[in-house]
Amino acid sequence: MDRKQVFSVCGMCTVRCPAAVDVVDGRVTGIFGNPFAAGIKGALCARGAAGPGLLYDDERPQTPLIRVGQRGEGKWRAVFWDEALDYVADKLRDIRAKHGPEALLLSDRGGPFMDLTRAFVRGFGSPNYCNHDTACARNVQHASLSIFGCGRKELVLDLKNARHVVLQSRNILESINVKEVNDLLDARDAGCKLTVIDIRANVPAAKADHFFLLRPGTDYAFNLAVINVIIEEKLYDRKFVREWVKDFDQLKEFVAPYTPEFAEKETGASASALRTFVRQFAKAAPSVIWHPGWMTARYSDSFHVCRTAYIINALMGAIGAKGGLPLACKAGDVGKKGLKQLQELFPKPEAKRADGAGWAEGCTHFDPGPGLVNLAFNAIATDQPYPVRAYIAHRHDPLMAFPDPTSVKRLWDKLELFVAVTFTWSDTAWNADVVLPMSTYLERESILASKGGLKPQFFLRNRAVQPRFDTRADWEIYAGLAKRLGIEALAPLAVDTIEELWERQLEGTGVSIADFAAKGFVELADKPLYKPLSFKTPSGKIELFSEKLDRDQVPSLPPYVSPAHPPKGLFRITFGRCGLHTQGHTVNNPLLFELMPENVLWLNKTRAKALGIEHMDLVEVASPKGEGGQLRAYVTEFIHPEAVFMVHGFGHTLPVESRAKGRGVSDNELMPDGINSWDKGGGGICMQEHFVSVRRVEA
Ligand X SMILES: Nc1nc2c(c(=O)[nH]1)N[C@H]1C(S)=C(S)[C@@H](COP(=O)(O)OP(=O)(O)OC[C@H]3O[C@@H](n4cnc5c(=O)[nH]c(N)nc54)[C@H](O)[C@@H]3O)O[C@H]1N2
Where do contacts with ligand SF4 occur on this chain (CB under 6 A)?
10, 12-13, 15-17, 44-45, 47-48, 176-178
Query: Measured from the CB of residue 627, what is the shortest distance to ligand X in angstroms?
Result: 13
Q: Which is nearer to ligand SF4, 195 or 440 (CB)?
A: 440
Interacting residue with ligand X among 365, 577, 607, 652 (CB under 6 A)? 577
DSSP letter for 319, please.
Answer: B
Binding site for Mo ion (CB under 5 A): 136
Q: Which is nearer to ligand SF4, 104 or 173 (CB)?
A: 173
Q: Would you call 122 helix, strand, or coil by DSSP?
A: helix
Closest CA to 651 of 405, 451, 409: 405
Euclidean distance between CA atoms 248 and 405, whole angstroms: 44
- Counting DSSP H helices and E strands in the chain, the numbers are 22, 25
Euclidean distance between CA atoms 198 and 184, whole angstroms: 18
201: exposed, middle or buried (Cβ count in 10 Å: 0-12, 13-18, 19+): middle
Q: Which is nearer to Mo ion, 136 or 465 (CB)?
A: 136
CB atoms within 10 A of CB 62: 14
Give the list of residues 6+ apart from residue 208 with CB closer than 8 angstroms, or none: 167, 194, 195, 196
Binding residues for ligand X, rule CB under 6 A, total 58
DSSP letter for 226, please.
Answer: H
Q: Which is nearer to ligand SF4, 28 or 390 (CB)?
A: 28
Euclidean distance between CA atoms 20 and 144, whole angstroms: 34
Half-sphere exposure of 452 (CA within 13 A, CB side): 18
Query: Measured from the CB of residue 63, what is the shortest distance to ligand X in angstroms?
Result: 15
Interacting residue with ligand X among 136, 156, 288, 557 (CB under 6 A)? 136
Q: Which is nearer to ligand X, 137 or 660 (CB)?
A: 137
**E-only strand ranges, 295-407:** 390-394
Taking the alpha carbons at both ends of the chain, their separation in whole angstroms is 54
Query: Measured from the CB of residue 355, what is the shortest distance to Mo ion in angstroms?
Result: 19
Q: Which is nearer to Mo ion, 235 or 687 (CB)?
A: 687
**575 counts as binding ligand X under rule CB under 6 A:** yes
- 316 touches 283 (CB < 8 A): no
**677 counts as binding ligand X under rule CB under 6 A:** no
Site string for ligand X, 426-445 (x = CB under 6 A): x-----------x--x----
Euclidean distance between CA atoms 687 and 415, whole angstroms: 26
Q: Which is nearer to ligand SF4, 26 or 42 (CB)?
A: 42
Query: Measured from the CB of residue 33, what is the shortest distance to ligand SF4 in angstroms?
Result: 7
- 344 touches 350 (CB < 8 A): no
**171 counts as binding ligand X under rule CB under 6 A:** yes
Q: Which is nearer to ligand X, 426 or 509 (CB)?
A: 426
Q: Which is nearer to ligand SF4, 177 or 300 (CB)?
A: 177
**Given the rule CB under 6 A, which of 147-155, 270-278, 331-339, 423-431 is the region that contacts ligand X?**
423-431
Closest CA to 588 of 431, 426, 465, 399: 426
178 binds, among ligand SF4, ligand X, Mo ion, none (CB under 5 to 8 A by kind): ligand SF4
- 339 touches 458 (CB < 8 A): yes
Q: In degrees to the nearest 10, what's the CA dihedral of 491, 495, 500, 502?
A: 90
**Given the rule CB under 6 A, which of 156-164, 308-316, 420-428, 456-464 is the region that contacts ligand X?**
420-428
7: β partners: 20
β-pairing verdict for 390-394 and 417-422: parallel
Interacting residue with ligand X among 115, 183, 397, 627 (CB under 6 A)? 397
Euclidean distance between CA atoms 320 and 543, whole angstroms: 15
Query: Measured from the CB of residue 630, what is the shortest distance to ligand X in angstroms?
Result: 18
Give the list of residues 6+ apart from residue 70 with CB closer than 8 angstroms, or none: none
Query: Measured from the CB of residue 540, what is the shortest distance to ligand X in angstroms?
Result: 31
The letter for the amino acid at 37 is A
- 316 touches 288 (CB < 8 A): yes
441 binds, among ligand SF4, Mo ion, ligand X, none (CB under 5 to 8 A by kind): ligand X
Query: Measured from the CB of residue 103, what is the shortest distance to Mo ion in angstroms?
Result: 28
Interacting residue with ligand X among 450, 537, 574, 693 (CB under 6 A)? 574
**300 counts as binding ligand X under rule CB under 6 A:** no
Q: Which is nearer to Mo ion, 139 or 537 (CB)?
A: 139
CB atoms within 10 A of CB 384: 12
48 binds, among Mo ion, ligand X, ligand SF4, none (CB under 5 to 8 A by kind): ligand SF4
53 binds, among Mo ion, ligand X, ligand SF4, none (CB under 5 to 8 A by kind): none
123: exposed, middle or buried (Cβ count in 10 Å: 0-12, 13-18, 19+): buried
Q: Which is nearer to Mo ion, 472 or 577 (CB)?
A: 577
Q: Which is nearer to ligand SF4, 7 or 220 (CB)?
A: 7
Interacting residue with ligand X among 6, 9, 10, 13 (CB under 6 A)? 13
Q: Would you call 316 helix, strand, or coil by DSSP?
A: coil
**198 counts as binding ligand X under rule CB under 6 A:** yes
Site string for ligand X, 32-51 (x = CB under 6 A): ---------------x----
Give the list of residues 6+ apart from residue 325 with CB closer than 8 angstroms, or none: 155, 156, 157, 158, 289, 313, 318, 319
> What angle, rounded to 10 degrees, do the helices at 271-283 and 219-232 form?
60
Q: Would you call 514 helix, strand, or coil by DSSP?
A: helix
**20 counts as binding ligand X under rule CB under 6 A:** no
Q: Which is nearer to ligand SF4, 44 or 285 (CB)?
A: 44
Query: Measured from the CB of residue 481, what is the shortest distance to ligand SF4 in angstroms?
Result: 28
588 binds, among Mo ion, ligand X, ligand SF4, none (CB under 5 to 8 A by kind): none
Q: Which is nearer to ligand X, 141 or 509 (CB)?
A: 141
620: β partners: 630, 695
Q: Which residues bind ligand X (CB under 6 A)?
A: 11, 13-15, 47, 109, 132, 135-137, 168-171, 174-176, 197-200, 202, 214, 216-217, 219, 294-295, 298, 394-397, 400-401, 421-424, 426, 438, 441, 574-577, 579, 581-585, 645, 648, 667-668, 687-688
